Amino acid sequence: MTQAMGRQSIFITGAASGMGRETARLFSQQGWFVGAFDVDRAGLEALQTELGADNCLVHALDVSDKGQFEAAIAAFSTATGGRMDILFNNAGIAMRGFFDEMPLEDQLRMIQVNLVGVLNGIYTALPLLKATPNALCFTTSSSSATMGMPLIAVYAATKHAVKGLTEALSNEFRRFDVRCADVLPGLIRTGMPAEDMLASAPPKGPFRVIEAIEVARTVWEAYQSETLHWFVPSELADLDKAAGNTPEQLRDKLGAHMKI
């Protein structure tokens, strides 16, 4: 008998904190077996203590390293008997500043984690997803994938790429009965947004601060659905429409809001 003991299973990157951690907690509460992966070993150990060693597998993982991803997938496969109901590619990093003032190395690192890391995850996990009926390949995109945001240009570019990849694979993976979807969160209370951004956020509207548990609940809802893009909060869908219909107007509005 495997460690998962026949339970449905979810593989989560960036699981040591924020949205990934809340997702691990929620799915564990629902009786799922959780694979939690992150570069933060201390955070993973704390999560394992909380969930119980019988209910999860924790494993250090730098998603930009394909070899590490292969080892993580192999360990997860052993624990679940080759099952993966959800792949949650959630790990990501963000750096803020003017494009021309940020070191190129930092911007390339964002590409490695936010985009190459997602490609590593999907490519490596696909055999398990294909072997699991009604599996879901789910990825964290961003509200910055609706319109390129100033001061996070390369971050926004990686998230646009994730959104496009999700759309394309949602059709390709029909061949395997594997669904694809993504979440486009706005300002989430995690360790990623700067404190000044959280403090200056409006009390209502699409750019209000949202708790990380809301994203976890979205992952749960997405597994029960065929919806492609999930906006958190839902008002961000209007931003996506505006970006498609009047991109110049939205561009100027964002520039004025950020005093650029």
Residue 194: which CATH number?
Answer: 3.40.50.720
Whether 237 is in a domain gets the answer yes
Spatial separation of the C-alpha atoms in residues 69 and 137, rounded to whole Å: 16
Q: State the pLDDT at residue 18.
A: 96
Q: What is the pLDDT of residue 210?
A: 87
Residues 256 and 30: their CA atoms lie apart, in Å, by: 44
**Domain contains 208:** yes
- Short-list 37, 89, 88, CA closest to 58: 37
Is 83 within a domain? yes
In a domain, 1, yes or no: no
Confidence at residue 206, expressed as pLDDT on a 0 to 100 scale: 74
- CA pair distance 4, 239, nearest whole angstrom: 41
CA 121 distance to own-chain centroid: 11
Give the DSSP H/E element, type plus range, for residue 251. Answer: helix 247-257
Indicate the SS3 state at residue 6: coil
Provide the domain limits for residue 40.
9-257
- The answer to whether position 4 is within a domain reads no
Identify whether 2 is part of a domain.
Answer: no
The tens place of each residue's pLDDT in the chain, 260 residues long, gives 799 999 999 999 999 999 999 999 999 999 999 999 999 999 999 999 999 999 999 999 999 999 999 999 999 999 999 999 999 999 999 999 999 999 999 999 999 999 999 999 999 999 999 999 999 999 999 999 999 999 999 999 999 999 999 999 999 999 999 999 999 999 888 765 555 566 666 667 677 888 999 999 999 999 999 999 999 999 999 989 988 999 999 888 888 877 66
For residue 3, is it within any domain? no
- Between CA 147 and CA 152, with CA 150 as vertex, the angle to 5 degrees is 90
Angle between helices 153-172 and 104-111 (to 10 degrees): 20
Looking at the domain assignment, is residue 40 inside a domain? yes
Strand locations in 174-257, DSSP E? 178-185, 187-189, 209-211, 229-232
* Token digits of residue 159: 């998230």
Please give the tally of structural domains in the chain. 1
